[in-house]
């Protein structure tokens, strides 16, 4: 048997450290507690965030082309179209430039950032945390979603408050629940959990915990102590 070359080892290492965009799920509801639906034998494999092909449809091509024209050379190639909604993945270093263009350009005119929220994908090594921005154009009656990723080990993303002041509290909640640090935020503090709380409750690796609940003599144990179906 021949020893693997350094190039082969580098390829294997890169594949092992690449974000897990290929997902396999078993049963109706994926992994977790026992599947009582009767569909436990179903196995589905799919690509997470598949890139859309042109034409995107609706007004989506117009938005993407306009952003390319306003921000030439910027990496805005990862476009996802699903459920009649447009999502553009934006490099975090370019986020404020993209938001400013979306707000100020007359052909885009996304005056409102409706929400900033977070998502946690523990298996996406290097891209575990996602910040999601929902933009609304009142002028053109259009919607756009921007998505930014960062590593758990470097969970910093520029704050959007300087562009959309209304995102102040949205970013605080996302920080509180997911631990994403929004650089440049005027006062990034917890708003739901105590200041000294350990961990971020909406991450998928956060323990369920809880306390037993008693009602009329019956006791319901904490979620992580309940039996699972087999």
CATH architecture of 49-196: 2-Layer Sandwich (3.30)
The residue count of the chain comes to 230
| Statement: residue 115 has pLDDT above 70 | yes
Return d(Cα 5, Cα 24) in angstroms, integer: 30
| Statement: residue 75 has pLDDT above 70 | yes
Residue-wise pLDDT for 169-196, tens only, equals 999 999 999 999 999 999 999 999 999 9
Write down the pLDDT at residue 213. 82
Return d(Cα 172, Cα 116) in angstroms, integer: 9
Write down the pLDDT at residue 91. 96
Average pLDDT of the segment spanning 156-164: 98
Return d(Cα 203, Cα 120) in angstroms, integer: 6
Q: What are the residue ranges spanned by the domains of the chain?
A: 1-48, 49-196
């Amino acid at each position: 048997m021949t020893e693997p070359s350094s190039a082969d080892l580098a390829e294997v290492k890169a594949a092992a450290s690449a974000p897990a965009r290929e997902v396999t799920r078993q049963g109706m509801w994926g992994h977790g507690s026992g599947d009582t639906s009767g569909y436990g034998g179903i196995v589905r494999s799919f690509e997470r965030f598949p890139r859309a092909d042109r034409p995107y449809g609706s007004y989506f091509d117009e938005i993407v082309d306009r952003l390319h024209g306003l921000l030439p050379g910027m990496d805005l190639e990862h476009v996802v179209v699903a459920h009649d909604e447009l999502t553009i993945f934006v490099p975090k270093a370019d986020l404020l430039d993209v938001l400013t263009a979306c707000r100020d350009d007359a052909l885009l005119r996304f005056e409102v950032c409706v929400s900033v929220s977070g998502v946690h994908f523990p298996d996406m090594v290097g891209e575990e945390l996602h910040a999601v921005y929902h933009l609304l154009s009142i002028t053109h009656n259009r919607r756009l979603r921007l998505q930014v990723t960062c590593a758990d080990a470097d969970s910093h993303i520029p704050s959007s408050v300087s562009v959309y002041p209304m995102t102040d509290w949205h970013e605080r909640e996302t920080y509180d629940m997911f631990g994403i640090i929004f650089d440049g935020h005027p006062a990034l503090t917890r708003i739901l959990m105590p200041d000294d709380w350990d961990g971020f409750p909406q991450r998928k690796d956060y323990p369920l915990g809880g306390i037993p609940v008693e009602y009329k003599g019956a006791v319901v144990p904490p979620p992580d102590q309940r039996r699972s179906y087999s």
